[in-house]
Structure 1
Amino acid sequence: MSISIFFFLLAVAVPAAHAEPSYEACTGLVETDPDAALDMAQTLKLMRGDDEAGGMHCEALALTAQGRPADAAPVFYQLAERMLQASDEMRTPVYAQAGDAWALAGNAAQARRAYSEAIARMPEDSRYRLGRARMRALEENWEGTRDDAAEALALDPYLTEAMLLRAAANRILGFPQAALADANKAVELRPHDLEALVERGRVHMALGNRQSAWTDWQSVLDYAAATGRNDDPAVVAARQYLSR
């Protein structure tokens, strides 16, 4: 199996029974039987070359499918570190997968480190800037959040999540007018986005415009009720704000 297939081939369903160990067979089991995929990954890891690398990647995917992102993340990261002969286009997504897994596990510092490795290799990809911006927000590094969100928007001006992260950062840093510009744009692009409405409500409150804030938060409840999203975290936040 070529290493290019290893990174960019999507998992193809392969019958579990009597399947010969291979990267394709292993990833084909991830969604339907992650335990079997993990077993096959261990077999592949005993081999050399692409098979060993494929086993590590499948192991990390299977651990993620089992709901064990904290265990999957270091496997993704170790694999990316070992891919010394691979191109940046091949290594970078694996660093990003490590970042995604650490983010799921709640380890913002390690996730940020993995996204930074991805950014260093493919700085033109907005997704990795956005991932690091999320982690910096979790760490309450608002200047860093604003910088990464701004870089992501420079690469992709329509990233609403980056707009909201920059809006939150500017709001917290004391620049509510700048925050409002981003929040308004996000709502304009996605008028029924619950998180966008919640954040714009926060910005309105920071500007002393209580009525506009309440209108946004009430819209969150209305849209959520109409679409069956009453348990969305944005709805919980809107209810709390309206009850004050």
Structure 2
Amino acid sequence: MPKIGKKYQEAIKKVDRNKLYEPAEAVQLVKETANAKFDETVDVAVRLGVDPRHADQQVRGTVVLPHGTGKTKRVLVFAKGEKAKEAEAAGADYVGAEELAEKIQGGWMDFDVAIATPDMMGVAGKLGRILGPRGMMPNPKSGTVTFDIEKAVGEVKAGKIEYRVDKAGIIHVPIGKASFDAAKLQENFKAFLDVLAKARPAATKGQYLRSITVSATMGPGVKVSPQKAVAK
């Protein structure tokens, strides 16, 4: 069995594993149990009452967190002409076309999000085998295939995150850093849960939000009451 460190043992003692906490309590506990030497990421894991094998029960979308994630994302944009200039003015880190695609095919991956104008999908589409498995392929559903480049780049830089249910029916997203004020983490948490609740597929039956857990990178999971998480 893996050895459990003293800090983690102490952190576990602060969490009642059988209790469903209110969001504010959960966030405060996560901050208190984040004892690593680096600024830990605060993550939310939500188990949904959906069957991802069915197309009409897929859950996927985006949300702009009010206070961002605490990480500045490097944005790459496939565009030419005026749209390339628009991307540069909006703050994109890398802008180009075929030359960028060739770099990526050669193994270069020094970016976090890829955006493309619709007319450039012929270039970006060839990178499907590389970007697809990493969840980085430009996609209209996530707002990363668009002619409104200024808006797309601005949202990513402001804290836009993409969420997507996995094969096990679980969604994992970051909502900030342990160094964030508790109020900011709570607002980010609420913004994500509100959007996720509205994304419920019509084909879903029974309880949609089955379980919610919040945790820091090196800390224990804190269970949150699904009912209280989306209470108005």
Q: Return the TM-score normalized by structure 1.
A: 0.25
Q: Where is the helix percentage greater, Structure 1 or Structure 2?
A: 1
Answer 1 or 2: which has greater strand percent.
2
Q: Flag the structure with larger Rg.
A: 1
Identify which of structures 1 and 2 has the higher relative contact order when contacts are C-alpha pairs closer than 8 Å and 6+ apart: 2
